[in-house]
A and B are shown apart, each in its own frame.
Chain A
Amino acid sequence: MSKTIFEHSSAGRKGVTLPAREIDTPLEQLIPARYHRKGTARLPEVSELDVMRHYIELSHKNHFIEKGLYPLGSCTMKYNPKVHEALVRHTCFANLHPYQHESTLQGALELMYELQEDLAEISGMAQVTLQPVAGAQGEFTGIKIIDAYHKAKGNAHKTKIIIPDSAHGTNPATCHLVGFDVIELKSDANGRCDLARLREIVDENTAGFMLTNPNTLGLFETQIEEIAEIMHSVDALIYMDGANLNALLGIVQPGKIGFDVIHFNLHKTFSTPHGGGGPGAGPVGVVEKLIPYLPVPMVSKDEQGYHLDYGHEATSMGKVHTFYGNFAVLVRAYIYIKMLGAKGLRRVSENAIINANYLMARLKDYYHIEHLEPCMHEFVADSSWQKKEYGVSTLDIAKRLLDKGFHAPTVYFPLIIPEAMMIEPTETESLESLNAFADAMIEIAQESKANPELLHEAPLTTPVRRVDDVRAVKVLDPIFKIET
Chain B
Amino acid sequence: MRAVVIKDLTAIRRSKGVLIPMITVPGLLLVILPLLIGLAARNHAAPNVDGILRSVPEGVARPITQLPEAQRLVVLVNGYLLAPLFLIVPLMVASVLAADAFAGEKERSTLESLLHLPISERDLFYAKVLGAFLPAVLVSWIGFVLFAVVVNTTAWPVMHRVFIPTKLWLVMIVWVAPAVAALGLGVMVRVSARAKSTQEANQLGGAVILPLIFLAVGQSTGLLLVTLPLAVGAGALVWLVALVLATGGARRFTRDRMAAAI
A and B interact physically:
no
